[in-house]
């Protein structure tokens, strides 16, 4: 990919290829991020709702952020411009390898070998979560695709979405998650909390322990995010509430392209419907705000105590 091409697609919200055209790459990247995320999970403090295991959007890709290890820290970064995986330490040592078509098994081996060479010992549960078929990482030769342009375009969409979700997050003074990338579901998300406890979650996520879901939804939430659309067929934004209050699915939300997906139990807004508007950021904010209002109003949240009265212009 030329520098000019990079500059051109970096000027706004990129047009994403049809999901079916890069689904194999998406699936492979999903597994790669799970390997990296599980390293952070094992070595980082156990923050509530699994917030200590997520990844974050950067100016070049995705990062674990600094992970503590004895007297030093290290970070693992996906670079979707140079298409490299970087492992760097606060001691000045580093290891790097190219992101290119390779099996999950090979990626797992290279990552663990690089960590070992840096003196970092870690043992992870070497199988994926939140997928129906959980192939052990060291045995997964099925997922081995990497389309550089598709990966870069998806990351550039994440950059745009990350900015809007952070704007939306700043408007809430109650308990609210960071804007973070969950490698389990392969989505960028932000979650607001009412402050009240919620009914015990019934679980049911594939290959996820019930206790994980119970902690994630221990309190009432209004959550929103963005994912490539696996299971839907196109990249899209989502919004849901737990527990879902009566009338939530019928609440009038914006923009007009948004709809309630009965099977998923969430409001959905196609990415393309946002990208092609005159003001994608404002269009997305309208979706985030009105779906939050659906949850907070119908469930009688104390909105006066939870929302900022003024925001930076």
For residue 65, the model assigns a pLDDT of 98
SS (H, E, C) 241-255: EECCCCCHHHCCCCC
For residue 5, the model assigns a pLDDT of 42
Which pLDDT tens digit goes with each residue over 71-120?
999 999 999 999 999 999 999 999 999 999 999 999 999 999 999 999 99
Residue 93 burial (10 A CB sphere; 0-12, 13-18, 19+) = middle
For residue 4, the model assigns a pLDDT of 41
Q: At how many degrees (to 10) do helices 19-43 and 104-117 cross?
A: 30
For the chain, the first-to-last Cα distance in angstroms comes to 37
Mean pLDDT of the chain: 95
The answer to whether residue 8 scores a pLDDT higher than 60 is no
Which pLDDT tens digit goes with each residue over 135-144?
999 999 999 9
For residue 312, the model assigns a pLDDT of 56
SS (H, E, C) 137-201: HHHCCCCCCCCHHHHHHHHHHHHHHHHHHHHHHCCECCCECCCEEECCCCEEEEEEEEEEECCCC
For residue 311, the model assigns a pLDDT of 58
Which pLDDT tens digit goes with each residue over 56-82?
999 999 999 999 999 999 999 999 999
* Torsion angles phi and psi, residue 6, rounded to 5: -60, -45
* Cβ atoms of residues 287 and 237 within 8 Å: yes
**Using alpha carbons only, what angle is made at residue 169 by residues 167 and 173, rounded to the nearest 5 degrees?**
125
Strand 84-89, strand 187-197: pairing: unpaired
For residue 281, the model assigns a pLDDT of 97
Which pLDDT tens digit goes with each residue over 192-246?
999 999 999 999 899 999 999 999 999 999 999 999 999 999 999 999 999 999 9
For residue 160, the model assigns a pLDDT of 98
* Cβ atoms of residues 200 and 184 within 8 Å: no
Residue 121: partners with Cβ closer than 8 Å, 6 or more residues away: 115
For residue 2, the model assigns a pLDDT of 44
The answer to whether residue 10 scores a pLDDT higher than 50 is no
Which pLDDT tens digit goes with each residue over 166-179?
999 999 999 999 99
For residue 7, the model assigns a pLDDT of 39
Query: What is the average pLDDT across 19-37?
Result: 98
Query: What is the average pLDDT across 179-197?
Result: 98
Q: Report how far residue 2's alpha carbon sits from residue 161's, in angstroms, rounded to the nearest whole number.
A: 24
Rounded to two decimals, the pTM is: 0.94
């Amino acid at each position: 990919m030329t520098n000019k091409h990079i500059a051109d697609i970096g000027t706004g919200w990129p047009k994403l290829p049809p999901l079916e055209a890069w689904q194999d790459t998406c699936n492979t990247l999903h597994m790669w991020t799970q390997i990296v995320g599980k390293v952070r999970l094992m070595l980082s403090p156990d923050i509530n709702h699994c917030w200590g295991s997520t990844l974050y959007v950067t100016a070049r890709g995705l990062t674990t952020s600094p992970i503590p290890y004895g007297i030093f820290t290290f970070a693992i970064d996906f670079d979707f411009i140079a298409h490299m995986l970087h492992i760097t330490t606060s001691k000045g040592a580093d290891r790097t390898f190219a992101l290119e078509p390779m099996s999950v098994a090979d990626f797992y081996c290279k990552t663990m070998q690089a960590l070992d060479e840096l003196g970092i010992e870690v043992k992870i549960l070497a199988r994926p979560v939140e997928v129906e078929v959980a192939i052990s990482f060291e045995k997964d030769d099925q997922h081995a695709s990497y389309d550089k342009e598709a990966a870069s375009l998806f990351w550039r969409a994440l950059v745009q979405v990350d900015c809007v979700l952070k704007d939306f997050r700043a408007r809430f003074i109650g308990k609210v998650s960071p804007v973070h990338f969950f490698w389990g579901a392969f989505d960028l998300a932000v979650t607001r909390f009412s402050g009240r406890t919620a009914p015990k979650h019934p679980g049911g996520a594939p290959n996820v322990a019930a206790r994980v879901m119970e902690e994630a939804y221990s309190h009432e939430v209004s959550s929103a995010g963005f994912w490539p659309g696996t299971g839907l067929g196109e990249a899209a934004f989502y919004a849901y509430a737990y527990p879902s209050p009566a009338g939530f699915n019928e609440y009038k939300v914006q923009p007009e392209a948004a709809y309630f997906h009965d099977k998923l139990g969430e409001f959905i807004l196609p990415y393309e419907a946002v990208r092609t508007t005159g003001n994608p950021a404002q269009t997305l904010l309208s979706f985030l705000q009105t779906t939050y209002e659906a949850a907070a109003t119908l469930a009688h949240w104390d909105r006066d105590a939870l929302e900022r009265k003024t925001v930076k212009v």
